Amino acid sequence: MSNFDDAITVGYWTIRGLGAPLRQMVLFSGRKLNNVMYDLTETDGKFDANCWFSKKVELKEKNALINLPYVIDGDLLITQSNACFSYLGRKLNLWGNNEEEIIRCEELLCELMDIRNNMIKYAYTPNSTTESAEAYLQGAFKLGDRCAPFNQKMAGFGASPDGTKWVNGQKYNFNELCGIF
């Protein structure tokens, strides 16, 4: 039996991106992590992702929707970013403890993913500026009264005026890890 037989596998590109908070969730929980990274190589100005696409063919036999990131836990192969986050959140006790907390975890995951996806435009657009990205982020965190509790907690990343220690209550949840990707 190898050291990784009971490990949770997280597969992603060699950048932090969506893989980093998934890896952090596993490590934070104390579980063993099998970190599988796929590296784009550049030859003559062209990128080669064959290391991933050759493995994708094999993994597609287990899950027709396979893409990066993915999580393997025993016989389970989970793909699609939000499915990976919610699975690990539940599996590692980093999800909500009741229906309201679960809903808040799901809402915040979607909100953070919206912000992340919009920020990608600034990261990969050649003509984007720091100022345009900062303006977007300032607007993203001024979404009205509905997001006031989220804004208060995100501003301090700690104890908030209502006495809760973390973004989603008294318990550390995956939201804190996802909030930094």
Mean pLDDT across 27-50: 91
Residue tagged 């973004």 (tokens):
167
Q: What is the pLDDT of residue 134?
A: 74
pLDDT at 99: 86
DSSP 176: H
CB burial of 141-162 (b: ≥16 within 10 Å; e: otherwise) equals eeeeeeeebbeebeeeeeebee
Distance CA(50)–CA(41), nearest Å, equals 9
When pLDDT is averaged across residues 73-79 and rounded to a whole number, the result is 96
Tell me: pLDDT of 136 over 80. Answer: no
Q: Does residue 71 have a pLDDT over 80?
A: yes
Q: Is the pLDDT of residue 67 over 90?
A: yes
pLDDT of residue 2: 43
The residue ranking higher by pLDDT, 137 or 110, is 110
Residue labelled with tokens 């036999």: 61
Q: In the structure, what pLDDT confidence band is assigned to residue 103 with cuts at 50, 70 and 90?
A: confident
Q: Look up residue 98 and give its amino acid.
A: N
2-5 long-range CB contacts below 8 Å, 24 or more apart?
A: 3/32, 4/32, 4/34
What pLDDT score does 177 carry? 56
Instruction: Give pLDDT, residue 159.
Output: 46
Is the pLDDT at 165 greater than 60? The verdict is: no
Give the percent of the chain with pLDDT over 90. Answer: 33
Phi, then psi, of 64 in degrees rounded to 5: -65, -20
- Both ends of the chain: CA-CA distance in Å? 34
Q: Does 69 or 154 have the greater pLDDT score? A: 69
Highest mean pLDDT among 6-10, 102-106, 120-124, 125-129: 6-10
C-alpha distance from residue 156 to each of 113, 127, 166, 173 (Å)? 20, 32, 10, 16
* Average pLDDT over every residue of 160-169: 54
What is the average pLDDT value for the chain, to the nearest integer?
Answer: 78
Range in 4-18, 48-62, 98-112 the model is least confident about:
98-112
CA distance 63 to 58: 9
